[in-house]
């Protein structure tokens, strides 16, 4: 029997993308589409690309008999509701930010609110599947990573785990406008963003502590992290360019061996020989990684490209769903990228 699934926040970009993937998943059945707006309207009318959604599946307020609740909500909202779902025996996979940080005080500093369920942070498993799949398999509450942290960490994990770099890390990342969600602001209007690239959120972007937290766990100490995101005029796609000094004696062949070993059996991380392009991941759960050594300056330069709505959000959540319920991690995620 397919696992019954609800998506709370289904009218947003991430929620809609997750619905697209779930509707194609042979072992999942979407039984509830929940949102504050569009009550009573068919999902396929609200998300007009979801042609295979049944006419009877309408936007509602309850998760029904779902065994798994995916949440794609603004900061602070999933944490207000998760406890009730967990108490009902359901599994919760949060695409948002509510359970990513282990220290509740960080939510006050970076998100500007007091966490409504700080005790659940101890229960939550950080769901970067490539790092934590063993814990995901038994988790009841899974915190899906953010899009920028997914790219930054996948670019750096082999070097961090192998002790090849120091704690001085720079992440320069660029993302398409869908990462900002449905916000109607001047910054995201066509006339503002077209033919323009700009940085934002420095040094206070909310993904900064998430990258630092997971890097620290691998380094054994807090990194000195500078994270600079940029908004670029495309719908989808994200690339992270990461820089860190190499430890003494580290050579290019050491780096190549570490990356090959780390990702040789990963179903969605591919080591490429050329600079990765975001377009080569469009609509897919792939992450393309390319690492090289700037020998003159003894520095690692590592790139990761992905689709911010798939591997950076909904696809990663479905990969965690697969790991959690014992399905092959590729189930429902086999689609290759679109090109051109």
Pick from 158, 179, 126: which is nearest to 269 by CA? Answer: 158
The CA dihedral of 178, 181, 184, 185, to the nearest 10 degrees, is -70
192 pLDDT band (50/70/90 cuts)? confident
Taking 80 as the threshold, does the pLDDT of residue 182 lie above it? no
Give the model confidence (pLDDT) of 85-135 as tens digits.
Answer: 999 999 999 999 999 999 999 999 999 999 999 999 999 999 999 999 999
Question: Domain 3-145+312-325 falls in which CATH fold?
Answer: Rossmann fold (3.40.50)
Q: What is the mean pLDDT of residues 322-332?
A: 98
CATH 3.30.360.10 location in the chain: 148-307
For the whole prediction, is pTM greater than 0.85? Answer: yes
180 pLDDT band (50/70/90 cuts)? confident
Mean pLDDT of all residues belonging to the chain: 97
Which amino acids are annotated catalytic? 147
Pick from 316, 269, 232: which is nearest to 17 by CA? Answer: 316
At 61 the three-state DSSP class reads coil
Architecture of domain 148-307 in CATH?
A: 2-Layer Sandwich (3.30)
Q: Write the CB contacts of 252 (distance below 8 Å, at least 6 apart in sequence).
A: 292, 293, 295
CATH 3.40.50.720 location in the chain: 3-145+312-325
Across 43-52, 155-164, 173-182, least confident range: 173-182
- Percent above pLDDT 90 for the chain: 96
Q: What is the mean pLDDT of residues 177-192?
A: 81
Nearest-angstrom CA–CA distance, 131 and 136: 10
């Amino acid at each position: 029997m397919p696992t019954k699934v609800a998506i709370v926040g289904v009218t947003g970009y991430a929620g809609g993308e997750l619905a697209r993937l779930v509707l194609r998943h042979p072992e999942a059945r979407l039984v509830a589409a929940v949102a504050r707006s569009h009550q009573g309207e068919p999902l396929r009318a609200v998300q007009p690309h979801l042609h295979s959604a049944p006419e009877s599946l309408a936007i509602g307020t309850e998760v029904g008999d779902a065994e798994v609740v995916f949440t794609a909500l603004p900061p602070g909202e999933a944490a207000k509701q998760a406890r009730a779902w967990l108490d009902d025996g359901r599994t919760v996979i949060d695409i948002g930010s509510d359970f990513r940080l282990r220290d509740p005080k960080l939510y006050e500093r970076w998100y500007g609110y007091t966490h409504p369920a700080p005790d659940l942070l101890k229960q939550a498993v950080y769901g970067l599947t490539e790092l934590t799949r063993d814990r995901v398999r038994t988790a009841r509450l899974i915190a899906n990573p953010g899009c920028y942290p997914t790219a930054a960490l996948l670019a750096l994990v082999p070097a961090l785990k192998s002790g090849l770099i120091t704690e001085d890390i720079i992440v320069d990342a660029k993302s398409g406008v869908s990462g900002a969600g449905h916000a109607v602001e001047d910054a995201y209007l066509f006339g503002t963003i077209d033919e323009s690239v700009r940085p934002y959120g420095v040094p206070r972007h909310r993904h900064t502590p998430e990258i630092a937290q997971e890097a620290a766990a691998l380094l054994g100490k807090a990194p000195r992290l500078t994270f600079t995101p940029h908004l670029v005029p495309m719908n989808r796609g994200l690339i992270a360019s990461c820089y860190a000094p190499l430890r003494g004696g580290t050579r290019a062949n050491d780096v190549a061996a570490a990356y090959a070993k780390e990702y040789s059996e990963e179903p969605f991380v591919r080591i490429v020989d050329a600079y990765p392009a975001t377009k080569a991941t469009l609509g897919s759960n792939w992450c393309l990684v390319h690492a090289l050594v700037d020998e003159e300056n003894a520095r690692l330069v590592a790139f990761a490209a992905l689709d911010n709505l798939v591997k950076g959000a909904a696809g990663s959540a479905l990969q965690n769903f697969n790991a959690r319920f014992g399905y092959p991690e590729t189930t429902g995620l086999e689609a290759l990228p679109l090109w051109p």
